[in-house]
Structure 1
Amino acid sequence: MDPVARHDHQPDVSFDGGDLDCGNGLLLLIRRHIDPLPRGGLLEIRSTEISVDEDLPAWCRLTGNELVSWTKVAKQRAFLVCKGRLDEREARRPPTARAPEPVPAEAPRARVPVAPPPVPPLAVTGMGSWPRPRWMIEAMHAHVEGRLGEAEFQETANDAVRLAIAAQERAGVDLVTDGEQRRDSYASFVASRLDNCQLIPLTDLLPLVDHAEEFEAELRALDIPAGDVRHPAVFGPLRRSRPLVAHEVDFARTVTRAPVKVALPGPYLLTRTMWMECISDHAYPSREALAEDIVRVLREELAELMDAGAAIVQFDEPVLSEVVFSGPKSKRSFMCGALSESLGPEHELGFARDLLNAVLDGASRDRTALHVCRGNWTPDEAVALAGGYAPLVETLAAVRTGAYLLEMCTPRAGEMEVLAALPEEARIGVGVVNQKIQTAEAVEAVAARISRAIDLFGRERVLLHPDCGFATFADNPICGGGLAEEKLTVIARAVERFR
């Protein structure tokens, strides 16, 4: 597209990006201004950086937005971008931008610590996520984009949580979760709760990746909806001015008498996710410096969760599998950390171990857990990682946690016997149904897996669950709510034989 003398349409919002290029903050500024606009809204981006001439049209193509026109006077450029297509713009009146709601800094809550109900042996639990109703997903997108206020969003989410917990209770679980109904995904949601962090679509990051077209093709091959999945971007020092998930526990405890489990992304996962050259290195000098703040934030959250009455706080670290089962000769895996650096298995496993132990230091072991799987973004088993726990068990055993909740039903996870090397005082959570399979397992088959786990670890140590969550990403659930309930029901029926 050639430049024009002036735009034929008036922008609804304008901002000046100065000499920033797309890899050094301009895309973040674009996302912050375009998200609150309705479909058909017009954003003007002023820039003096020559590389934007090529990069911005490419970004528009990748994200499904329309470059309407651009002007050039000496070094000064002005690009007019429509959110979506220009023909979506209302003919009767121009749309007006709604500024994102400021997130109020919340004063630390003065809590009276709550003692949770005990988690019995052979407890049945979901891993964390539960399929969201369509209206919940729509509310989530509107909230992230600044079109739905905080109070309205939370009220909508409360209704979705009530439905998720009711389904788990009907299935007969012993340890409930809120289904992660308020989250866009199991991990990236943290960006919407932390100060100086922002959720941006994965497509926005493609210009920052070497060979972006190849990477985009890989995402398609891995069945990843890059336009729907959002990724956290750090643009300043991380601060926790409000809870990450303690509010989830607060509400869940009002609608159930069962013990409540809550999952958090682990510190290694968050570090691998958030550290991206050309973005986070403007706020932090190194990955290790970013990790220090992530550990601090998670320690603050863990302390509040303990006081809030969470029976188990689970840290998710699936990227540990990517460290040992993915390599230069292997297919790329999508673990939400696929865009960040990795310095080799020995270094990364030690780094992850130290970060986890720093977060867990001083916490009650019997109320913490670690979850590991091999990828849960698609029901297609062929694109997930495969390999037994042998390369991981030494690292897992060195983490000071009270329970390990592990993918075990799928043949990709290897043999259960290797888990006998984990600390004897820790509980072992065994995946006994595969959430990727689109039919419920037979009670007999699940009972056989439970029997094997009891033989290996003793009934007092065993917890039972699906291999992973039912809806890791809100927009891309692994299965429907009916099937999720049916799978948990099968576990509950099978375990009755051992009680």
Structure 2
Amino acid sequence: MTSPFIYPQQPDVSFDGGDLDCGNGLLLLIRRHIDPLERGGLLEIRSTEISVDEDLPAWCRMTGNELVSFLKEGRQRSFLVCKGQLNERRAPSAPQPAQRGGIELVSVKPLTVFPAPAPAAAIRPLSVMGIGSWPRPRWMLQAVHEHMEGRLDEAAFHATADDAVSLAINAQLRAGADVVSDGEQRRDSYSSFVASRLDNCQLIPLTDLLPLVDDPEEFERELRALDVPAGDVRHPAVFGPLGRSRGIAVHEVDYARALTRAPVKVALPGPYLLTRTMWMECISDRAYDNREDLARDIVRVLREEIACLLASGAALVQLDEPVLSEVVFSGPATQRSFMCGALSEKGDSAVELAFARDLVNAVVAGFPRERIALHMCRGNWTADESKALSGNYKPLVDTLGQMKVGTLFLELCTPRAGEMEILTSLPDDIRIGVGACNQKHAHVETVDHVVAHAEHAIQLFGARRVLLTPDCGFATFADNPLNSAAVAEAKLAVLAQAARILRERHGV
């Protein structure tokens, strides 16, 4: 489609958003077209929606992109937006064919036969491990951003990430960890990274979501609590039927296992978290009638991924479901919350917990229970304890006990988590990964402190059911590590020393 508008600077890409407004899918299309451009690239957005006159300039100011020109002719509007600033523009590239608001959807045939799990070393009692994420080196953070912005190709990105993974695993082994992870070095965050791996899903900056929330001012305050620019934190958005044409994290496990003989664990965002994160009525209804329909496809792709992870030799696959705490510890039932990026509305707590339980059980059905785990906490986006949710496990313990997983990794070091005794009603065949150090604090706990805390857990659950971990990951969001790699290693080393004392004491 030829644009009726003529600019002194020809756009590199043009598309027609029709009558979509910024809160009903236009920003998703803009992000889809502008992200592949180099800085200085020009995008023309055509629209017939009057509200875009005010909303798009505001979006440009918020995201640091320059609105170069705005033209109107009758109902037709044309906005010329520069990615970054116009003074960054290089010699113009050849214009690409115009697109009419359309996004090419990918159709992928699901797996019908799962591969069998490969053997993996059993994880012995009182094993020490991290939850998942590890602080990234500065050069790895740069690579993450350049890769997301299309300025670093896949091969160069993974070559850089391989080096970062090697450093993370070596640090865990030096500390004495019994089970290691790749530190989630290739991920921009513990959950949103899936949008870069799944079909018909994409990452958009949190700033793009302001038109979608009920209280933009409150949402902006929550974003400021991240202590990192909101434009650097991205959120997965679904624009078509979800598919898995390539692995989500299989490549992570394959590389980690090539570096060590230690058991390797890998974390995936859980099905309830992904459903709450991805379901946004104004976007997701392009492909799904309701969130239950979306959830069915999320369950399917996670089951495909877990099967392949176990076949690749992952000793433990961990589902992250921190948003369970948001269900019971946050505000009114219909209030939107930033907690872990779960922006969609939640319903009654009992209904939501039952929905989460059923989704998790559907995902893990038929897999070896001893190789499946679930982690939850109360928020890990800031070191300020007062910003995170607080409450004991009483409203959650029944739901956790009904989930068909072999291990629960639980936040238990911080006072915000309440009394450990509440968990004694959990089934005896579930291991408890006991949070025994606080990843939010730079202070390294003493061995005596960890031994005493773990001994309390052993008296409640028995030594054979206890594993030792930090409360959560050290760098849940890549740009916002809660501690340095040196502190993370020191904390794991204390856990390992405590585990040696406890194994000798309890003969396990």
* 1:36-435 equivalence runs, <5 A: 36-90=36-90, 93-94=91-92, 113-221=117-225, 223=227, 225-328=229-332, 334-435=338-439
> Partners of 1:151 and 1:138 in 2: how far apart?
15
CA shift digits 1:137-182 (9 cap, x unpaired): 1111222222222222222211111111000000000000010111
Task: Specify every segment of 5 or more residues in structure 1 that has no aligned partner in the other structure, as ranges.
Answer: none
Cα displacement (A) at 1:459: 1.0
> Partners of 1:466 and 1:53 in 2: how far apart?
49
One-letter identity of the residue aligned with 2:62: L
Q: Is the 8 A contact 2:11 2:95 kept in 1?
A: no
Q: Measured at CA, do residues 97 and 254 of structure 1 come closer, stay the same or move farther in structure 2, by a change above 3 Å?
A: farther
> What residue number does 1:497 align with?
501
One-letter identity of the residue aligned with 2:187: R
> What residue number does 1:15 align with?
15
Q: Is the 8 A contact 2:334 2:346 kept in 1?
A: no
Cα displacement (A) at 1:223: 4.1
Cα displacement (A) at 1:326: 0.4
Q: Measured at CA, do residues 127 and 113 of structure 1 come closer, stay the same or move farther in structure 2, by a change above 3 Å?
A: same
Q: Secondary structure at the match of 2:43?
A: strand
Q: Is the 8 A contact 2:116 2:307 kept in 1?
A: no
One-letter identity of the residue aligned with 1:458: G
Cα displacement (A) at 1:7: 3.4
> Partners of 1:73 and 1:439 in 2: how far apart?
62
Cα displacement (A) at 1:114: 2.3
Give the structure-1-normalised TM-score: 0.94
> Partners of 2:95 and 2:404 in 1: how far apart?
49
Q: Is the 8 A contact 1:38 1:97 kept in 2?
A: no
> Partners of 1:214 and 1:129 in 2: how far apart?
28
Seq. identity, %: 68
> Partners of 1:383 and 1:95 in 2: how far apart?
46
One-letter identity of the residue aligned with 1:341: E
Q: Measured at CA, do residues 114 and 163 of structure 1 come closer, stay the same or move farther in structure 2, by a change above 3 Å?
A: same
Q: C-alpha root-mean-square deviation of aligned residues, in Å?
A: 2.5
Cα displacement (A) at 1:8: 3.8
Q: Measured at CA, do residues 223 and 325 of structure 1 come closer, stay the same or move farther in structure 2, by a change above 3 Å?
A: farther
Q: Secondary structure at the match of 1:69?
A: strand
Cα displacement (A) at 1:111: 6.2
> What residue number does 1:33 align with?
33
Q: Measured at CA, do residues 419 and 98 of structure 1 come closer, stay the same or move farther in structure 2, by a change above 3 Å?
A: farther
Kindly indicate whether residue 441 of structure 2 is the aligned counterpart of residue 437 of structure 1: yes
CA shift digits 1:244-283 (9 cap, x unpaired): 1111111111000000011011000000000001100111
One-letter identity of the residue aligned with 1:43: L
> What residue number does 1:459 align with?
463
> Partners of 2:308 and 2:335 in 1: how far apart?
40
| Farther off after superposition, 217-226 or 394-403 | 217-226
One-letter identity of the residue aligned with 1:232: P
| Farther off after superposition, 224-233 or 475-484 | 224-233
> What residue number does 2:100 align with?
none
> Partners of 2:325 and 2:155 in 1: how far apart?
38
One-letter identity of the residue aligned with 1:198: Q
One-letter identity of the residue aligned with 2:39: R
Q: Measured at CA, do residues 104 and 45 of structure 1 come closer, stay the same or move farther in structure 2, by a change above 3 Å?
A: same
Q: Secondary structure at the match of 1:200?
A: strand
One-letter identity of the residue aligned with 2:497: R
Q: Is the 8 A contact 1:119 1:259 kept in 2?
A: yes
Q: Measured at CA, do residues 125 and 389 of structure 1 come closer, stay the same or move farther in structure 2, by a change above 3 Å?
A: same
Cα displacement (A) at 1:392: 0.3
> Partners of 1:255 and 1:233 in 2: how far apart?
34
Q: Secondary structure at the match of 1:183?
A: coil
> Partners of 1:48 and 1:332 in 2: how far apart?
30
Give the structure-2-normalised TM-score: 0.92
> Partners of 1:331 and 1:198 in 2: how far apart?
25
> Partners of 1:342 and 1:330 in 2: how far apart?
5
Q: Measured at CA, do residues 182 and 106 of structure 1 come closer, stay the same or move farther in structure 2, by a change above 3 Å?
A: farther
One-letter identity of the residue aligned with 2:123: V
Q: Secondary structure at the match of 1:454?
A: helix
Q: Is the 8 A contact 2:130 2:473 kept in 1?
A: yes
Q: Is the 8 A contact 1:98 1:146 kept in 2?
A: no
| Farther off after superposition, 65-74 or 103-112 | 103-112
| Farther off after superposition, 147-156 or 483-492 | 147-156
Q: Measured at CA, do residues 110 and 98 of structure 1 come closer, stay the same or move farther in structure 2, by a change above 3 Å?
A: farther
Kindly indicate whether residue 452 of structure 2 is the aligned counterpart of residue 448 of structure 1: yes
Q: Measured at CA, do residues 386 and 115 of structure 1 come closer, stay the same or move farther in structure 2, by a change above 3 Å?
A: same
| Farther off after superposition, 461-470 or 9-18 | 9-18
One-letter identity of the residue aligned with 1:493: Q
> Partners of 1:303 and 1:262 in 2: how far apart?
13
| Farther off after superposition, 111-120 or 270-279 | 111-120
Cα displacement (A) at 1:218: 3.1
Q: Measured at CA, do residues 103 and 19 of structure 1 come closer, stay the same or move farther in structure 2, by a change above 3 Å?
A: closer
| Farther off after superposition, 29-38 or 231-240 | 29-38
Q: Is the 8 A contact 2:128 2:469 kept in 1?
A: yes
Q: Secondary structure at the match of 2:435?
A: strand
One-letter identity of the residue aligned with 1:334: F
> Partners of 1:421 and 1:488 in 2: how far apart?
28
Q: Is the 8 A contact 2:436 2:453 kept in 1?
A: yes
Cα displacement (A) at 1:314: 0.5
One-letter identity of the residue aligned with 2:61: R
